[in-house]
């Protein structure tokens, strides 16, 4: 009987012990890059030189228009690349 009483008292003594301490709350600052919208001026599409060509235009006129359009395209691509680089 004494043994049972000691076991019960030991069990009750275990319940009277302090509960484990709560974990400490810490605030940690983490720097994460976020996406930001690019705010550059929109690049205007030029009026292409070959868009006004007709089927009955001479070969010389067509070649000149295509060469001019090539230069326009190169300049337009450079403007697009510059706008794209500004966003990086």
Q: What is the 3-state secondary structure (H, E, C) of 12-28?
A: HHHHHCCCCCCCCCCCC
pLDDT digits (tens, 9 = 90+) for 5-31: 888 877 777 776 677 778 888 999 999
Residue 80 has pLDDT above 90, yes or no: yes
Does residue 32 lie in a domain region? no
What total number of domains does the chain contain?
1
Does residue 58 lie in a domain region? yes
Does residue 59 lie in a domain region? yes
pLDDT at 37: 83
Does residue 2 lie in a domain region? no
pLDDT at 71: 97
Does residue 26 lie in a domain region? no
Inter-residue contact 86 to 39 (CB < 8 Å): no
Q: What is the pTM of this model?
A: 0.55
d(CA 52, CA 70): 15
Does residue 22 lie in a domain region? no
Does residue 20 lie in a domain region? no
Structural domain span for residue 69: 43-86
Does residue 71 lie in a domain region? yes
């Amino acid at each position: 009987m004494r043994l049972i009483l000691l076991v019960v008292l030991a069990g009750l003594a275990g319940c009277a012990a302090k509960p484990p301490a709560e974990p400490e709350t810490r605030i940690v600052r983490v720097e994460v890059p976020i996406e930001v919208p690019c705010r550059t001026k929109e690049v205007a599409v030029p009026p292409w030189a070959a868009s006004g060509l007709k089927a009955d235009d001479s070969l010389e006129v067509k070649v000149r228009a295509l060469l001019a359009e090539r230069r326009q395209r190169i300049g337009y691509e450079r403007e697009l690349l510059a706008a794209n680089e500004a966003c990086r």
